[in-house]
Every structure is written in structure tokens, then in C-alpha cells.
Amino acid sequence: MTALNSSLNEWAAVAAHAKDMSQSHLRDLTAADPQRWQNFHIENDTWLLDISRQRITAKTLALLFDLARAADLPARIAAMFRGDPINSTEQRAVLHTALRSDFAGPQAVQAEVAATRRQLVDFVAAIRSGQKLGVTGKKFKHVVNIGIGGSDLGPLLVCDALRHEWSGGITPHFVSNVDRMQLEDLVRSIDPAETLVIVCSKTFITQETQANANAARAWIVGALGEKAAAKHFVAVSTNAEAMDAFGIAAEHRFTMWDWVGGRYSVWSAVGLAAELAIGSERFREFLQGASDIDRHFTTAPFERNLPVLMGVLGVWNRTFLQLPTLAVLPYDQRLARLPAYLQQLEMESNGKSVSLAGERVDFATAPVVWGAPGSNAQHSFFQMLHQGTPTAALDFIAPLKGSWGGTEGQDLALQNCLAQSQAFAFGYTAAEAEAGMRKAGAAAADIKRLSAHRVHEGNRPSSLLMYPQTTARSLGGILALYEHSVFVQGTLWGVNSFDQFGVELGKKLAVGIDMRGVKAPQGPGAEGLKALIDYVSKHR
């Protein structure tokens, strides 16, 4: 690998091809290839990936695959699954795959994971069966997960997406915002005697998580006494001293490893709230769905490899077609939180401007990821996507059947999903607008006045991912597909997808700000910062 992948001959070939393709419209690409859908869709097991509405040709994919090989993607994949320290800035392995796949990582790592899985399964069974009770003898009915970032977004997504799988009388709740409103709203509606609190913090000193954990402890202990802490709190952490001070019982501690980043941690004990809500059998299915994709990613040729295709197309759209954003549009209300989850996954992983070799990159990396359930989004921001000046890439995601088990309602959702993907790709020309107005009986003057307002440029590239139904197994597969797609993109860009130094600076600065005004601010902008602190003190 060169210092910058943009120095590769294969990169230059893709860039030259992108210039050639810059004036190509999906209408023309489709007209030139009557078999376009057949040529640009992949079916694997129960998955369908339709990329026929991407602004690509067969040559585009061939050149992108050449670039992937030149960037050592096959070797990087093997190194990740083997447990090499590919997180080079922190000298760590990247082994979230070992949490779900028995073919990932060294045997010692697999043994540790297996032991923790047994501990989790036993704990979940004891809570759900009532073998483990609160300090007053009541069965736990509420589980409150306190975390932030991946320690919140992952289990929250799983619980929301699999709400139809909740069982065992357990209701999960999530607290992440440090302003205390989530916790204050929650404690008004649940009984502390029936509440188990999970504190997810690798270091157990994350400022936001610690503040919420301390407030939750005060609530529980205030209502039930000091002995309640040992029975009503669980921790996912590595900081034994801090857990001792907090009062976490030894049997209520679950480990974290430095080879699992926060945004990849839902497969670990960080997913405990979800496992308590859906049960260990369903959680195993969730892990199996991800493992299925791991095996596919490591064995399928690039031409039929779903995450590889998703990844190289992400690079093509962001870097070579210069599309600044990716709209994630699930046509399933169960996946309402998927865009937020993918925001962290993609933007924290590849929001980098420095290469693995420490040189500033000279090309665009991670897109801004955003989105909402498609049916709702059609009546809000789709207007901008269709006719606005910014142009986005689009990911449509749709199950064939609704999560509740039927097709009623989902037929209408799919109808809209397919229609929107067509409209984004092919648009609505001036001639079509005028013909439509004439057919509707519009006057010539109105046609002249209004036809331009009805034109849709089209040529907005999109992919469509379809699968049978949102289940624990398919959800695991979706998350793993995007994880590996992000890894592919980071490899082609030559950046480290597994550190997050950009998250740390704000945390460090926050520690040095004294809102009581006792300690004067230091550093650049200290005068303005002091004025703001004084303003808060005066007007609070």
C-alpha cells in the first residue's frame, strides 16, 4: 500500500472513468442495457441487493474491484479475522467478529468469548425466571441501560427493532443524555424495587455515563437502602476498582475487551439489555445472522460479495461522484433507529482526514449519514432529495413481510419504496410533465407556467436491500453488512476505521470547564468562555 491510496494507478483509473461517467444519466444507462437489472443485482441466501439504479457500468465495478485489490483488501480482511492489530494507531486487534463467529480470532479469544457468553446466558435465565430477585424480593420487570454512543445506540436499536420479540415480562429502557431528563422522566413511571440497572462503560469513568449512573444509584439506594446497589446494578466494564467503589457485586460484572470498539460492541455484554428483553435464544439468532454475513464476506468473490459491493459503491459515490451525504431509508418502522446507529458506525469509523501513514488525504472520505423510515420521509425531506440542489446517494432497505408477520400494509410500503427508487433514478422530464398536464386538461398557459416546477432531474443513485422479514437473525445480518461495508470503504481510503480520536478532544475540554466559575478557563478563547460561564451563572 502506498502512503496515500490516491497515488495508486488503479485510483487514477477510477477517477478518469468517473469523469467519463459524469454526464451519464440513469435513463441512458438503462436504455443501453436491456438486461440491466439482471446484470446488477445479487441474490445470496435470503438477501437481495439491487444496484441497478447506481450510476455504474460493468466497467465501473471492474475498476473498483481492481482498486480494492490494489489497496490489499483481501489481506486486510484476513488480518482482521485473524486478530492482527490492524487498529494501528492504538496497536489493537479488531475482533468484534469473534463475538459471534467461531472462526474469527485466536483460540484464546474464542475461549474467553465462549466463557462470557455462558455467564451472560446464565445471568439472563436467572433474571427472567425470577431466580435472581431485587432486594425486596420482587421480580425484575424493568431493565435500565445507562451508556452513551455504542453502549446505547446498539442495544437500543436491537430492542426497538425486535420489540415484537420481547418476552419474559422484561421492559427495557435507555438513558444516555447527560441533561438528566431521560432518567428523571423514567423514574416517575417505574418501581425501583422492580428495576435492574446496567451501567455500560468500558472505563467506568465516562463522564456522561458516570453522571447518570450516580443519579440512578441515588434513586435506587434512596428508595431501597444501601444494600440494594449490589442486587440492582450490573456493570459492563474493565475497571474493577471503580466497580468496587460503586458497589457492583462480583457476579454482576461482565467484561469488555480492548479489541472491541464501542460502535461494534452490541454483540458483547453491551447487548445485555437486549438479551434480557428478547431472551438468549433470540439473541443467539441475532449473533448467528451476523456470523452468516461474516462467512459470506470472507469467502464470496468480490463480484458477488454483498458488503464488498456496498463498500466500493460507497467510495464511488462519495469520493468519485462527490455525493456528500447518504440517506438511509428503511421501509419498516422497526428499523426507525437504524439511521442513527449507522451515523455512528460510518461517521465515527471513517470520518478521518489522515491516512494510516499519517498523511493528510487529498480526497473526500465518509459521507454525512442521515435518514428516517421511508414512508414518513416521503412527506418531509424527499422534496429536497427529488428537486433540491444537493444530491445524495440513497440506501433503501425493505423486508418482504411486516414484522408483525403479514403483508397487509407492507404491500403499500413496498409499493412506495419501489416507486420512490424509480423516481429518484429516472426523474420526470419537461416533456413528460407537459404531456401529463395536457392529458389532465390543463390550459396551454398553465402548462407553460407550471411545467418547469414539475420536472424531476432524477439520476439520484440508490441501492435496494431486501430480505424476508425483520427478525433477530436478519437484523444481525443487516448490521454486519454495514460493518463490513464501512471496513471496505476505510481500506480503499487507506484510513483507520477503528480509532476515534475526534471524540476525545471535546471530552478533555469539558473536564477543564468549571461551571461554578471557581477555576478560570485557560487556553484559546478563554475570555469568551468565561463570559459564557458568567452568563449562565447570572441568568440560570
Q: Is residue 455 part of a domain?
A: no
CB atoms within 10 A of CB 442: 16
Q: Is residue 513 part of a domain?
A: yes
Pick from 394, 424, 382: which is nearest to 326 by CA? 394
Q: Is residue 91 part of a domain?
A: no
11, 135: one domain: no
The CATH number of the domain holding residue 26 is: 3.40.50.10490
Q: What is the pLDDT at residue 403?
A: 80
476, 517: one domain: no
307, 271: one domain: no
Q: What is the pLDDT at residue 66?
A: 98
Average pLDDT, the chain: 95
How many domains are contained in the chain? 3
Pick from 310, 266, 308: which is nearest to 286 by CA? 266
C-beta of residue 16 within 8 angstroms of C-beta of residue 280 = no
Q: What is the pLDDT at residue 540?
A: 83
The grid coordinates of residue 416 equal 412506495
Query: What whole-number distance in Å separates Cα of residue 458 and Cα of residue 426?
Result: 5
390, 533: one domain: no
162, 210: one domain: yes
The grid coordinates of residue 266 equal 452490541
398, 524: one domain: no
Q: Is residue 360 part of a domain?
A: yes
Q: Is residue 78 part of a domain?
A: no
Q: Is residue 437 part of a domain?
A: no
Query: What whole-number distance in Å separates Cα of residue 318 and Cα of residue 198?
Result: 38
3 state DSSP class of 55? coil
Query: What whole-number distance in Å separates Cα of residue 375 and Cα of residue 385?
Result: 14
Q: Which residue has the higher pLDDT, 48 or 375?
A: 48
178, 252: one domain: yes
- pLDDT tens digit sequence for 484-536: 999 999 999 999 999 999 888 877 788 778 888 778 888 888 889 889 888 99
Q: Is residue 81 part of a domain?
A: no
Pick from 413, 392, 272, 264: which is nearest to 336 by CA? 413
Q: Is residue 432 part of a domain?
A: no
- pLDDT tens digit sequence for 166-222: 999 999 999 999 888 999 999 999 999 999 999 999 888 888 899 999 999 999 999
Q: Which of 284, 315, 330 is the last residue of a domain?
A: 284
Q: Please give the average per-residue pLDDT across 322-335, as a whole number.
A: 97
Query: What whole-number distance in Å separates Cα of residue 532 and Cα of residue 540?
Result: 12
Query: What whole-number distance in Å separates Cα of residue 215 and Cα of residue 512?
Result: 22
pLDDT band at 1 (very low <50, low <70, confident <90, very high): very low
Domain containing 248: what range? 96-284
Q: Say which residue the cell 424527499 belongs to.
A: 382
Query: What whole-number distance in Å separates Cα of residue 98 and Cα of residue 104?
Result: 5
212, 327: one domain: no
Query: What whole-number distance in Å separates Cα of residue 274 and Cα of residue 160?
Result: 9
217, 180: one domain: yes
52, 122: one domain: no
- pLDDT tens digit sequence for 401-412: 988 777 778 899
393 bridge partner residues:
326
- pLDDT tens digit sequence for 59-106: 999 999 999 999 999 999 999 999 999 999 999 999 999 999 999 999
127, 222: one domain: yes
Q: Which of 256, 284, 312 is the last residue of a domain?
A: 284
509, 486: one domain: no
Q: What is the pLDDT at residue 3?
A: 66
pTM: 0.95
Q: How far is CA 519 from the centre of its chain?
A: 39
C-beta of residue 153 within 8 angstroms of C-beta of residue 205 = no
The grid coordinates of residue 268 equal 458483547
- Positive or negative torsion for Cα 487, 319, 42, 331: positive
Separation in Å, CA 365 to CA 94, 224, 315, 328, 386: 21, 51, 8, 17, 24
User: Directed axis angle between helix 306-315 and helix 280-299, to 10°?
Assistant: 70
Query: What whole-number distance in Å separates Cα of residue 112 and Cα of residue 271?
Result: 17
Q: Which of 284, 319, 347 is the last residue of a domain?
A: 284
3 state DSSP class of 516? coil
The grid coordinates of residue 48 equal 437481495
Query: What whole-number distance in Å separates Cα of residue 427 and Cα of residue 132?
Result: 59
Residues marked active site are found at: 348, 379, 507
Q: Say which residue the cell 469513568 belongs to.
A: 205
Q: Please give the average per-residue pLDDT across 132-161, as a whole number.
A: 97
